[in-house]
Amino acid sequence: MKIIPLTSAPYQSLTTTIPVDGKNLKLKLGISYNSAANYWTMSITDPSTSNLILDNIPLLTGGYPAADLLGQFKYLGLGSATIVNVGNSVMDSPDSTNLGTDFLLAWGDTIG
């Protein structure tokens, strides 16, 4: 699993290469905080074509299999991603201040 470097900036964009199922995927991620709903969302774009692959995926924690943010999109070959509580926060999901510190985005091979 690769840890994607995120911060608590309310709008962020980064291009990253993620090793997934023996291939290196180059993806552009857009991360934003939805203050009305109090959760983070992620958009995934192909940086070579600027085509949107997925939009507004909630970055929420959960038990398996719900913890895999990309589980329902296995047919896209994007692997698996999950939000991990590494700060022992009592919160269920990251708030506007602790993404990238107490909660990390881990991404890697397809699970299951």
* Amino acid at residue number 91: M
pLDDT digits (tens, 9 = 90+) for 11-67: 999 999 999 999 999 999 999 999 999 999 999 999 999 999 999 999 998 877 679
Which residues span the domain enclosing 62? 2-108
* Amino acid at residue number 88: N
What three-state secondary structure class fits 72?
A: helix
* Amino acid at residue number 29: L
Whether the per-residue pLDDT at 3 is higher than 90: the answer is yes
Give the closest residue to 79 by CA, choosing from 66, 70, 88.
70
Instruction: Specify the residue for token string 């969302």.
Output: 41
pTM score of the predicted model: 0.92
Between residues 64 and 85, which one has the greater pLDDT?
Answer: 85
84: number of CA atoms within 13 Å, CB side?
A: 14
First vs last C-alpha separation in the chain: 15
How many structural domains is the chain composed of? 1
Give the span between the Cα atoms of 18 and 78, in whole angstroms: 9
Give the span between the Cα atoms of 7 and 40, in whole angstroms: 11
